[in-house]
Amino acid sequence: MTLKTPQQYIDDIRKMKIDLYMFGEKVENYVDHPIVRPSVNSMAMTYKLAMDPEHEDIMTAMSNLTGQKVNRFTHLHQSTDDLVKKIKMQRLLGQKTGCCFQRCVGMDAFNAVYNTTFEIDAKHGTKYHERFVEFLKYVQDNDLAVDGCMTDSRGDRSKSPGEQPDPDAYVHVVDRSKDGITVRGCKMHQTGLINSHEILVMPNNSLKDYEKEWAVSFAVPLDTPGIVFIYGRQSCDTRKLEKGSIDVGNQYFGGQEVMAIFNDVFVPWERVFMDGETDFSTMLVERFAAYHRQSYGGCKVGVGDALIGATQAIADYNGVARASHIKDKIVEMCHLNESLYSCGIACSAEGRKTASGNYLVDILLANICKQNVTRFPYEIARLAQDVAGGILVTMPSEKDFTHAQIGPMIKKYFIGKSDISAEKRQRMLRLIENLTMGTAAVGYLTESMHGAGSPQAQRIMISRLINLTHRKNLAEKLSGIQENKEVDWQ
């Protein structure tokens, strides 16, 4: 089997027996938990669209490892066309779910670990690449969702992993045996982690020679003994526990962030893809970050499309859609959103083939893409709230609207345009609230800021990659400060 149906995917994770905690209590049936289920639905959409002939071209690809059709989320990019289709796929899913659909991190990790292990083996004579290829074949053959796991708890940010008072601040190896390694530590902000079949761990940052224990990459099934999961709290999350449907905003979908604690977890050698090669930690981190920063030029644009649509709808419902300043604000939202998409396409189209054979995005342009993503969605959200009006945050609850005594009075004064029901206006405002302030805002705004690295991380990469000397030379030649030998016809 290569492609799973949404139901087969849900049946898979329902079988998982994991140690998950939420609100101070252990959760047994997390798949059907009202707070978790919307995020499961989002992940399931990555399976549903892959089965749809209309979207087959961008949702699936032919595996270079098995020769079989696979879900693009498990694919190794074989061309710049693959990189572009990735962005188009992510935009489509953002439009369909209106939130984070959680499977991108694993896809980006696959491609980074694949080409980095190839180069580790070439230098050190190790067998990591061979191991990883076998793991990825297993993932593709079974259409598995894999969580790319990078961000550590990090302790004192002024100290590197080997300088921390508590070495567990970064995931590290605590024991080695003939059968494998044992690891300890914590990974934070893990998007879609408990909705995944497997976890693919990578080091968090560049490492020094003496920090070999922290230079570790491996994969384990979600239900591996010793892993404890704590579900992340999100704004307005308990609305999903209330009866009714309107106040949650997004009726079907949601994101997910999880903390994962590794308490002396055993990993067999065939699942270890880096163990002590500190000289390649920077390459792995930077390549993964580049792929993931590219991703934001697709997924956040798709969610932006949904928010722009909601803003147009509420303008119609409020009777202000023809006002010139409203039109101008919505045009600006579209301009910002398409600018992000342009960056995602540009860094994809300018990609290059790696030594391993898969394709890597243009790293500079990927960082430019993500730098813009740390800003533009916030402005898009601000404009959406501007157009929506103050009622966005003062609207009564769904229970008030349905109350026998006060409900009719609320509905009477909640009418905008006479041909639009109070409920339509209510639902659209809740969706805008969800996208800009509620649970979806985690995947749209906060993730835009901190996902794939904070804004400063991109600025550091831009400063490293931009060639200012070349640009200075261009100016000096044009101004006559330097001799311009290219003007040989004068």
Residue-wise pLDDT for 297-336, tens only, equals 999 999 999 999 999 999 999 999 999 999 999 999 999 9
Question: Can you give the pLDDT at residue 58?
Answer: 98
d(CA 250, CA 252) in angstroms, rounded, equals 6
Mean pLDDT (the chain) is 97
Residue-wise pLDDT for 431-487, tens only, equals 999 999 998 889 999 999 999 999 999 999 999 999 999 999 999 999 999 999 999
pTM of the predicted model as reported, rounded to 2 decimal places: 0.96
Q: What percent of the chain has pLDDT over 90?
A: 97
Residue 428 belongs to a domain: yes
List the CATH number of the domain containing 407.
Answer: 1.20.140.10
Nearest to 207 by CA among 255, 309, 276, 302: 276
- Displacement of CA 70 from its chain's centroid (Å): 20
Residue 290 belongs to a domain: yes
Q: Which domain holds residue 368?
A: 284-470
Pairing state of beta strands 25-27 and 60-62? unpaired
d(CA 304, CA 300) in angstroms, rounded, equals 6
Residue 251 has pLDDT above 70, yes or no: yes
- Averaged pLDDT for residues 27-37: 96
Q: What percent of the chain has pLDDT over 70?
A: 100
Please tell me the total count of domains within the chain: 1
d(CA 351, CA 363) in angstroms, rounded, equals 8
Q: What does the DSSP 8-state code read for residue 238? A: G
Q: Which residues are annotated as a binding site for FAD?
A: 191
Question: Can you give the pLDDT at residue 238?
Answer: 94
Backbone angles phi, psi at 61, to 5 degrees: -155, 165
d(CA 202, CA 151) in angstroms, rounded, equals 8
Residue 220 belongs to a domain: no
DSSP states along 379-414: HHHHHHHHHH-THHHHPPPHHHHT-TTTHHHHHHHT
Residue 249 belongs to a domain: no
Residue 365 belongs to a domain: yes
Terminal-residue alpha carbon distance, the chain: 68
d(CA 285, CA 288) in angstroms, rounded, equals 5
Residue listed under structure tokens 């995602």? 344
Residue 352 has pLDDT above 70, yes or no: yes
Using DSSP's 3-state secondary structure scheme, residue 257 falls into strand
- Averaged pLDDT for residues 26-50: 97
d(CA 440, CA 256) in angstroms, rounded, equals 9
Nearest to 359 by CA among 106, 82, 105: 82
Residue 200 belongs to a domain: no
Residue listed under structure tokens 């799973």? 4
Residue 30 has pLDDT above 70, yes or no: yes
Question: Can you give the pLDDT at residue 93?
Answer: 98
Residue 235 has pLDDT above 70, yes or no: yes
- Averaged pLDDT for residues 342-349: 98
DSSP states along 120-168: HHHHH---HHHHHHHHHHHHHHHT--EEEE--B--SSTTS-GGG-SSGG
Please check whether residue 273 is in contact with residue 113, taking contact to mean a CB–CB distance below 8 angstroms.
yes
Residue 1 has pLDDT above 70, yes or no: no
- Averaged pLDDT for residues 282-301: 98
- With cut-offs at 50, 70 and 90, classify the pLDDT of residue 488: confident
In terms of pLDDT, which residue wins out, 144 or 2? 144
Residue-wise pLDDT for 75-131, tens only, equals 999 999 999 999 999 999 999 999 999 999 999 999 999 999 999 999 999 999 999
Using DSSP's 3-state secondary structure scheme, residue 275 falls into strand
- Averaged pLDDT for residues 370-375: 97
Q: Is the dihedral of CA 88, 90, 92, 98 positive or negative?
A: negative
Instruction: Give the active site residues.
Output: 100, 104, 191, 257, 292, 296, 299, 447
Residue 385 belongs to a domain: yes
Residue 102 belongs to a domain: no
